[in-house]
Amino acid sequence: MGGSSEKGASEGAAAKEASPEGSSSEEVPSNEVSSEETPSEEASSGEVPSGKASDKVEEAASSPATSGEGTAPPAPPRRTRRRRILRWSASVLAVVILGTAGAGYLYYQHLNANIRSDDLNLGDSKDRAATTQVNSAGQRALNILLIGSDARDTEENQKLGGAKDTFGGPPLADVQMLLHVSADRSNMSVVSMPRDTLLGIPKCTDPDTRKTYEASTRAMTNESLGRGGPGCTVATWEKLTDIHIDHFMMIDFSGVVSMADAVGGVPVCVDANVYSHTSTGKGSGLKLPKGTHSVKGQQALQWLRTRYGFEDGSDLGRAKAQHMYMNSMVRELRSSAKLTSPNKLRRLAEAATSAITVDDGLDSITKMYDLANELQKVPTDRITMTTMPNRYVGARVEPTQDADKLFRLVREDIALDGKDEKKATPSPSPAVAPVASPDGQIAVQVHNGTRTDELGSSRGRATTVAGVLTAKGFTQAVADPSAATSEATTLVQYPSADLEGNALRVAKVLGIPASAVQKSTDVSGVTLVVGADWRSGTTYKAPKAVPEDNTAPDTAQAINASDTSQCMHVDPSFSW
C-alpha cells in the first residue's frame, strides 16, 4: 500500500541461502489469541549525522559473520559491541528495529532487501507542520511516528487475532505513538494517541492507485491508515499537533510476535490474576497469575492488545500497558547482555527488517544505524511515556486543552519529565514569514468567548469587535451568531498554514500578541475569539506577560522508563 517497495529481492534471497541460520526464530507459545474487539473496529526531515557510523556498516557488508564452517571475523570488544546495540525501546516496534541497525557485522545486503518503504506524508503541503529550527549548537530534534497496523490480509495475521469480518478490509492504525528526541539528545518523550480518538483526517492521495480520499472533519484516528497508507496517519498527526514528523515505522501483528520472540522475554506485572476473555469471545486471551512474568511471542502481543481486564476496560488502559511493556524492555536491554550473542542478533535482524515498513528516509540499514546512534544517547531515566489528554465523547475520546499544552511542549522541545524546562530549540517557524492577503480580502469570523461562571457573557461583543475590524478595512469580518463560549484570553485561530499570515495580520492590527495566534482544527477559517480579557471597549489591552507553565499536564499520565514499581491494575471481573 501507498508506495511500498522491496529492494534487491534476488540479492536478499541469495544472501539468505548463504546464511548458515537463515531467519529462524525461537518457538512461540502455542496458546491461541482470541479476537480483541475493535471499534467499527518525518533534517529537513530530522537529519542525523552520517559518516563514521555508515562507513562501519558498509565495511561490515563485505565480511558477514559466519557460523559452523568458515572463519568468523574477530569479535569486537564487549563494550564496543554493546555500544552498537540500541538498548532502549520506545515500542516493541522501534527498539528492535533500531537495535538491529547497530549490528554492523550482519548480512548488510540481505537485510537491506528485507526493508519495505512507503511515502512519508500523503496530505496536502498546506497542512504540513513547519520544520523545527536547529538550536544554538546546530542540533535538531527528531520526531518519529510509530504505527501498529491491525492489517489482517495474510493468513499469519488472521491466526493472531481480530474479528473475521475484518479480514482483507482496510487496515487500521491500532497503535499510534509519537517518539520525540530532544535536539541535544538529553531526553525523549513518547505521546500515545488512543485509537478511538475523534479528529479531522486531511485529504490524502494513495501514491500507487492515485485514489484520493477526501478530508473528514470527524473520524476515528485509526481509520487514517486505510486512506492511502501510513503517510496519511502522519498527515493526520501533523494536522492535529502542528509537529513536524521526520520519519515513521510501522509493524503488524505477526511482526510483533516475531520480534518479541527474537528479543526475548520482557518482564511485566499484574496486581491480580487476569484472563482477558468474555463470554462472547472478546478479549486478547491473555492469562497470567498475579505477579511479574516474562512475556514474549504471542503472549507479548496479547499483553500489548489487552483491553478487557486492564484498568477500566478502555483503550486508555491498553495504552498504559503498552507503556509499561516498552519501559520494561528499555531496562531489560540496557541491563543485560542477552543481545551480545551473534546468533540472537542474526535472528533479531531477520525478524526486524522483515517485519517493518518505514519511510524513504529510513530505507536502509545504514540510515537506521545512524539514527540508532543518535537515539542511544538518551539516558533511561530521561525517557517519559505519556498518553494524549482526552475526554470521553460517548464511547470515543477527543483531545482536550491539556493535549494542546502537551503538543506545545513537544513542538518547543521541552522535556516532559520536568527536569529541564529550558527551551532547547526555538519554536518551529517557517523559513519565510507567512504572507497575508490584502485586509479587505481576509475573511474573519468573530466569536464571543467572554462567558465566565461569575459574570456570564458580555452580550454583543462579537458584533462590536467585528465592527472594529470593518472600520479598519477588514470588510469581510462578520459576527458569529452562535452562543457565547468561555475563553480566558483573546485568540486568533486559523485551520491551515496558508491562512497563518492572515491570522497574524488580524492580530497585529488589533494589538493582539502573536503568541495568541494559534493553529486549530476546530475552525474552518480565520477566527477571532474575543475572550474574557476583552469584555468591553473597542481597543484590546494585552495582559501582562506571565511565564508559561512548561510542565507536562497531570492528565498525560506520565511514566518514567526507570520506574520499576509499575504494575497493571486488573479489573476484578476478569480475575480468576
Task: Supply φ then ψ for residue 112, to 5 degrees.
Answer: -60, -40
Q: Does some domain include residue 536?
A: no
Question: What pLDDT shows up at residue 151?
Answer: 62
Question: What pLDDT shows up at residue 421?
Answer: 53
Q: Does some domain include residue 571?
A: no
Same domain, 419 and 448: no
Question: What pLDDT shows up at residue 126?
Answer: 75
Q: How far is Cα 330 from Cα 324, in angstroms, rounded to an integer?
A: 10
Question: What pLDDT shows up at residue 149?
Answer: 86
Same domain, 287 and 204: yes
Q: Which of 225, 270, 327, 396 is nearest to 560 (CA)?
A: 327
Same domain, 354 and 501: no
Q: How far is Cα 176 from Cα 71, in angstroms, rounded to an integer?
A: 44
Q: Does some domain include residue 351?
A: yes
Q: Does some domain include residue 43?
A: yes
| Residue where a domain terminates, one of 389, 423, 457 | 423
Question: What pLDDT shows up at residue 571?
Answer: 96
In DSSP notation, 170-197 reads ---EEEEEEEEE-TTSS-EEEEE--TTB
Task: Residue 453: give the domain boundaries.
Answer: 439-531
Q: Does some domain include residue 223?
A: yes
Which string of b and e fits 442-473 if b means at least 16 CB within 10 Å?
bebbbbbbbbeeeeebbeebbebbbebbbeee
Question: What pLDDT shows up at residue 266?
Answer: 87
Question: What pLDDT shows up at residue 80?
Answer: 39
Question: What pLDDT shows up at residue 373?
Answer: 80
> Scanning the structure block, which residue is given the C-alpha cell 469581510?
476
CATH of the domain at 481: 3.30.70.2390
Same domain, 349 and 479: no
Number of compact structural domains in the chain: 2
Same domain, 232 and 363: yes
Q: Does some domain include residue 573?
A: no
**Alpha carbon distances (Å) from 262 to 302, 491, 532:** 16, 51, 57
Same domain, 179 and 305: yes
CATH of the domain at 154: 3.40.630.190
Q: How far is Cα 473 from Cα 505, in angstroms, rounded to an integer?
A: 12
Same domain, 483 and 511: yes
Does the pTM surpass 0.75? The reply is no
Question: What pLDDT shows up at residue 77?
Answer: 43
Same domain, 369 and 507: no
Residues 316 and 196: beta-carbon distance below 8 Å: no
Q: Does some domain include residue 237?
A: yes
Same domain, 419 and 445: no
Average pLDDT per 10 consecutive residues for the chain, totaling 576 residues? 44 38 36 38 42 42 38 42 33 42 56 91 85 86 92 52 57 92 95 94 92 94 95 96 95 77 85 96 94 91 92 90 87 66 72 87 87 85 95 93 94 91 47 84 97 93 97 97 92 92 97 91 93 96 80 94 94 96
Q: Does some domain include residue 62?
A: yes
Q: What pLDDT digit, counting tens, does each position of 85-98 carry?
A: 332 233 444 444 44
